[in-house]
Structure 1
Amino acid sequence: NTLVLRVNTAHNTLTEYLNHVRQTHLDAQSNQDVPFEQLVDKLKVSRSLSHSPLFQIMVTTNTEFGVNSAEQKASFTLDEVSLSQIEQEEVQSKFDLEVGLNLTAEGIELEWTYDVALFDEEYISTLDRHLTRVLTELSQTASQSNQALQAITMLSEQETQRLLSEQEVTLPAPRQGSIHRLFEAQVAERASKSAVEKDGQSLTYQALNERANQLAKRLQNEHGVRSGSLVGICMSRSLDMAVSVLAILKAGAAYVPLDPEYPQARLAYMCNDTKVALVLCDTAHEDKLPEDVKTLSTLEASEYSSENLKDESDENSLAYVIYTSGSTGVPKGVMITHKSLVNYQAHIAHSYGISSEDRVLQFSSMSFDIFVEEFFGALCHGASLVFRNDEMMQSASGFYDYCEAHEISVVSLPTAYYESICRSERPQPAPLRLVIVGGEALKSTTVAAHLKGRDGVQLINSYGPTEATITAITHVVQSADSNGVVPIGKRNLGVELLVLSPDGSLSPMGGQGELYIGGACLAAGYLNQEQKTAESFIDNPYYGVAGSRSKKLYKTGDLVRYLADGNLQFVGRVDGQVKVNGYRIEVDEITVQLSNLAGVDSALVLHDKEQQVHRLHAFIARQAGGTLNDEEF
């Protein structure tokens, strides 16, 4: 009778683990008279013709010392009987994977039977090599009862070196200093070129630079903005928004995006947490900010000199603080330095090839870090930045019409949004050459639709948490991606990636593990949250080994695996975080916020990912005798 075993490798020592395995076997054997089919029926396990219920891996042990090896079969004879082995072209198996352990006087022979629709020969050879190494190490450490379980590794020294040496990369000469110095270098080269455009209005590189210089001096002289200050920006897309970002940086401060579409309570929290010295805003949104916050809605500063300022920032100064969802109900302010942002420009040039010939669409909300990619990706490489309007969002044809009218060549879009428009019959805008998507898993059907209808337009799938400065991994989509899972790709320039098991050991090629990110891309941590920073930005256990050069690693919480070609495949999450329309959302944060509302006893939030459009469903239980305020909800 088949016995289904569930074992747990979370044990400190080899002895503890082997005792656990032994007890699991004894417990199963004490109930082995229960037929497997009856067990499945009682558990009401859903059935499928594609796999066996409850388990898909079968392990068998043959201890009869029979005729098993090829040599034994060839030498086996019977008097007056002629024997010949029948070769089978196909092997039938009820399971995805069967592992046979044949014990002989010489040792253990491993026999693998696998579903060729799920595994290839190279992958099975890797499994065979790893299991052989584990069994060999077990035989050598059997007498060491206190041997740490994680010390038994399946990876050879060569494999470990390969995984770590993958981190080595030849970088362009490192750029020093602040991000606005890169912009000023472009001003010197192309002063009269259009830098930013919105609704028929525009500023040249020189005009944008001069207005930013003047406003920066006003911020310093009239509002005390200095190096280390945090200054908020709460305004709609406009030329003033572009001036404000650069002016704050030139004044030596870091900017804090405050989305006017956010609830007032969230804006109030962000203002209080950052202790913003000032908020630059447009008049329409001034009343959304707390009364005690100092605001400036008139950005005129023509009385000040338009010359470049002395640089008040160095590479370790903060450039911006952007807020992400928090699992405790409190948003986290991610601190990004000039060094990380300047490093990202090397990736922009290498992977996107943005130049003075490009016109980049400014699509994203300022509170989403793709805004940073669009803004500096254009202005630090001599391109023109074109702000979108709201009307273009109404339909796919409206989007493409706007892109064609404004000769857009580069767009960076949430994956979900591009999925909704790429199947449009509308011909592609002639200048469009590059579409960058990210925020959610890219479907192969979307790739197929893009390849069919967007001739000559390159599609790039990007991945990266805010803590790693916008994106950390990039994949140029190929035709083969239309037939399977689309990988998230390989690391960007200056980025280090490690895939680790729960015990901190390196996951092998093809093995699943949590993704850790290191390198110049790393954020400086979370504002005013030292404990959360220490939990998320850990010491690199492999620092100084082979190609690993990053002292710190960011713990992403994302599960990935290396594919045979070196690309990474996204698998899922280790926690309750989800992506909806490209935004990173902590379900627990919503639960906490709902539970804190008057009249609510408890709340539950579920992520529905079965439909084409991901949705969050919230359920609340009202307090006995309590009333609910519709406006608060």
Structure 2
Amino acid sequence: TRANRVAHRLIAEGVQPDDRVAICAERSVELVVGLLGILKAGGGYVPLDPGYPGERLQWIVADAAPKRLLSDAAGREVLGASGHAAYDVLDIATLAGDSRQPSRNPVLATLGLRPEHLAYVIYTSGSTGTPKGVLVEHRQVTRLFDATAPWFGFNAQDVWCLFHSFAFDFSVWELWGALRYGGRLVVVPREIAQSAQECYDLVCRTGVTVLNQTPSAFRSFSEAQAHSRQAHRLRYVIFGGEALEPAMLKGWYERHGEQSPALINMYGITETTVHVTYRALRQADTQVSSSPIGQCIPDLRAYVLDAYQQPVPMGAVGELYISGAGVARGYWNRAELTAQRFVRDPFQQEARMYRTGDLARYLPDGSLVYLGRNDSQVKIRGFRIELGEIEARLVEHAGVREAVVLAREAEGGGKRLVAYVVAQDGADGEDLVRALRTHLGERLPDYMVPGAFVRLTSWPLTANGKLDRKALPVPDD
């Protein structure tokens, strides 16, 4: 009823299919009401996480040019009235509680809404220093659940949790998965999601059966479980967002075995609608060093190709291309980049495929192994990060002449960002680091701010005069 009221108000405001409606709100019931209201009105939602810096949110709003902007109190505070004077920010709670608006479902056929219309625009990190918006349609989302249903058998008794930011595409699987199957959705507050012990307590207390985690987050979750006396009711733990190192699961398997719960590894990308592959993990997988990602979702095709877009031999390493029903429409306002990444499928008539930039190889049994990136993009805690975007922001600062950012192995597993800078003459080291943290914190999400800064007088070079990344020093404490 509350979502219907939001929808009717948006329709009255002129929202039509393929219009973008931005929404900036904390994780709450009102957030879900707002998202449903946008979709029921025929619009596509543009998620704005209030935990992101105001400058980044303002850039996304300016780029997305939404028809309307929905928000709650936290969203209004971070957006700032000065940054959005052109927008009449609509309060979700006020719209949802307006009894003057009809409470019935809008008739989608009357609105002209079709499967090929926009469902959402999620912005991901961009190598040029600015994020890029991925356009995903309704049909790409609905087929994700239809195509994967036989593997999972999700039902109305399942309890899911919205653990991730709704500006991260893993949330599409969490939120709409719960509602699609008539299950229950536990909205995890930001502060609890950042505490493994509190998160585990919540999972036990609310009876969560379907948990979606990045491997980095699950490492801490597993440690919390090992030190807790509480029992969970998990049926599935589904990994995604970043490469899984199966060895990290040894302790979990020793305590739980293979089926209580079942652990599933799913590789995916925002541009191919959350998930691409499925692999039911086994305890024996903890003995391998590679990241097994399994088989393609049935309505997708995965090609491992060489530099000429020709298939490589079985077992050889190549770039992964994804074709099929999950491939997104493209990037908003980035026609040239769309043409570079969304290309014609030479193996399927009138089909497109997405060039992932990921390296992979096929095993003899037809399953895939993920082998990392072929460029400077990395994933940390599930967030896709273009290192070039951070470097571009660093050199904007007056005290920096040149900058390089790497993702290095961190103690205890996982990766962390390290920034290497050659400073302008006269810049003080400690003062510069403090200034750079502040500079980046005002412009980038916290997961893109390096954990360590190393100041160099010059770059280490190879014999060919190129930057020797391997010679860049490991930061001290």
CA contact (8 A) 1:319 1:337 kept: yes
Aligned to 1:470: 274
Q: Equivalents in 2 of 1:284, 1:524: separation in Å? A: 31
Q: Which amino acid aligns with 2:300?
A: V
What is the aligned counterpart of 2:377 among 552, 559, 577?
Answer: 577
Q: Structure 1 residues 595, 260: closer, same or farther in 2, change over 3 A?
A: same
What is the aligned counterpart of 1:274 among 64, 73, 79?
Answer: 64
Aligned to 1:20: none
Q: Equivalents in 2 of 1:610, 1:262: separation in Å? A: 24
Any idea what the Cα deviations from partners look like across 1:365-423, whole Å, max 9, x if unmatched? 01101111011101011111111134544654432221111111111011111022224
Q: Equivalents in 2 of 1:365, 1:266: separation in Å? A: 15
- SS of residue in 1 equivalent to 2:414: coil
Kindly state the Cα deviation for residue 504 of structure 1 after the two structures are TM-superposed. 1.6
Kindly state the Cα deviation for residue 361 of structure 1 after the two structures are TM-superposed. 1.1
Q: Equivalents in 2 of 1:514, 1:486: separation in Å? A: 15
CA contact (8 A) 2:163 2:193 kept: no
- SS of residue in 1 equivalent to 2:339: helix
What is the aligned counterpart of 1:536 among 337, 341, 366?
Answer: 341
Kindly state the Cα deviation for residue 625 of structure 1 after the two structures are TM-superposed. 5.8
Any idea what the Cα deviations from partners look like across 1:410-439, whole Å, max 9, x if unmatched? 110111110222242435634211101112
- SS of residue in 2 equivalent to 1:270: helix
Any idea what the Cα deviations from partners look like across 1:176-234, whole Å, max 9, x if unmatched? xxxxxxxxxxxxxxxxxxxxxxxxxxxxxxxxxx211111001121x222222111111
What is the aligned counterpart of 1:608 among 408, 427, 435?
Answer: 408
Aligned to 1:302: 99
CA contact (8 A) 1:226 1:252 kept: yes
Q: Equivalents in 2 of 1:444, 1:284: separation in Å? A: 38
CA-based RMSD of the aligned residues comes to: 1.8
CA contact (8 A) 2:58 2:84 kept: no
Which has the higher Rg, Structure 1 or Structure 2?
1
Any idea what the Cα deviations from partners look like across 1:217-263, whole Å, max 9, x if unmatched? 01121x22222211111111111111111110111110000011111
* 1:556 partnered with 2:356: yes
Q: Structure 1 residues 344, 579: closer, same or farther in 2, change over 3 A?
A: same
Q: Equivalents in 2 of 1:281, 1:622: separation in Å? A: 41
Any idea what the Cα deviations from partners look like across 1:512-544, whole Å, max 9, x if unmatched? 110000111011000000000000001112124
Q: Which amino acid aligns with 1:295?
A: V
What is the aligned counterpart of 1:324 among 120, 124, 137?
Answer: 124
Q: Which amino acid aligns with 1:371?
A: S
Q: Structure 1 residues 347, 419: closer, same or farther in 2, change over 3 A?
A: farther
- SS of residue in 1 equivalent to 2:103: coil
Aligned to 1:632: 439
Aligned to 2:234: 432
Aligned to 1:191: none
In the TM superposition, 1:16-415 aligns within 5 A as 210-221=1-12, 223-289=13-79, 290-292=83-85, 293-297=87-91, 298-299=94-95, 300-311=97-108, 312=111, 313-390=113-190, 392-393=192-193, 395-415=195-215
Aligned to 1:444: 246
CA contact (8 A) 1:277 1:294 kept: no
Any idea what the Cα deviations from partners look like across 1:441-479, whole Å, max 9, x if unmatched? 222222322221224200001111100000111111012
Kindly state the Cα deviation for residue 573 of structure 1 after the two structures are TM-superposed. 1.1
- SS of residue in 2 equivalent to 1:315: coil
Kindly state the Cα deviation for residue 624 of structure 1 after the two structures are TM-superposed. 4.0
State the identity %: 38
* 1:458 partnered with 2:458: no
Q: Equivalents in 2 of 1:387, 1:571: separation in Å? A: 33
Kindly state the Cα deviation for residue 360 of structure 1 after the two structures are TM-superposed. 0.5
Aligned residues: 418
Kindly state the Cα deviation for residue 497 of structure 1 after the two structures are TM-superposed. 0.8
Any idea what the Cα deviations from partners look like across 1:324-377, whole Å, max 9, x if unmatched? 011111111000001101111113422332110101111010110111101110
Q: Which amino acid aligns with 2:63?
A: D
Q: Structure 1 residues 366, 384: closer, same or farther in 2, change over 3 A?
A: same
Q: Structure 1 residues 309, 253: closer, same or farther in 2, change over 3 A?
A: same
Q: Structure 1 residues 563, 553: closer, same or farther in 2, change over 3 A?
A: same
Aligned to 2:461: none
What is the aligned counterpart of 1:515 among 317, 320, 323?
Answer: 320
Q: Equivalents in 1 of 2:367, 2:303: separation in Å? A: 13
- SS of residue in 1 equivalent to 2:237: strand
After TM superposition, the structure 1 stretch with the greater mean CA deviation from structure 2, 518-527 or 440-449, is 440-449
TM-score when normalising by structure 2:
0.84
CA contact (8 A) 1:401 1:429 kept: no
Q: Structure 1 residues 450, 535: closer, same or farther in 2, change over 3 A?
A: same
Q: Which amino acid aligns with 1:517?
A: I
Kindly state the Cα deviation for residue 481 of structure 1 after the two structures are TM-superposed. 0.6
What is the aligned counterpart of 1:490 among 295, 304, 312?
Answer: 295
Q: Equivalents in 2 of 1:348, 1:243: separation in Å? A: 26
Q: Equivalents in 1 of 2:147, 2:381: separation in Å? A: 25
Bigger relative contact order, structure 1 or 2, given CA contacts below 8 A and separation 6+?
A: 2
Aligned to 2:457: none
Q: Which amino acid aligns with 2:219?
A: E
Q: Which amino acid aligns with 1:318?
A: L
Q: Equivalents in 1 of 2:416, 2:249: separation in Å? A: 23
Q: Equivalents in 2 of 1:523, 1:351: separation in Å? A: 23
Runs of 5+ consecutive residues of structure 1 not aligned to the other structure: 1-209, 545-549
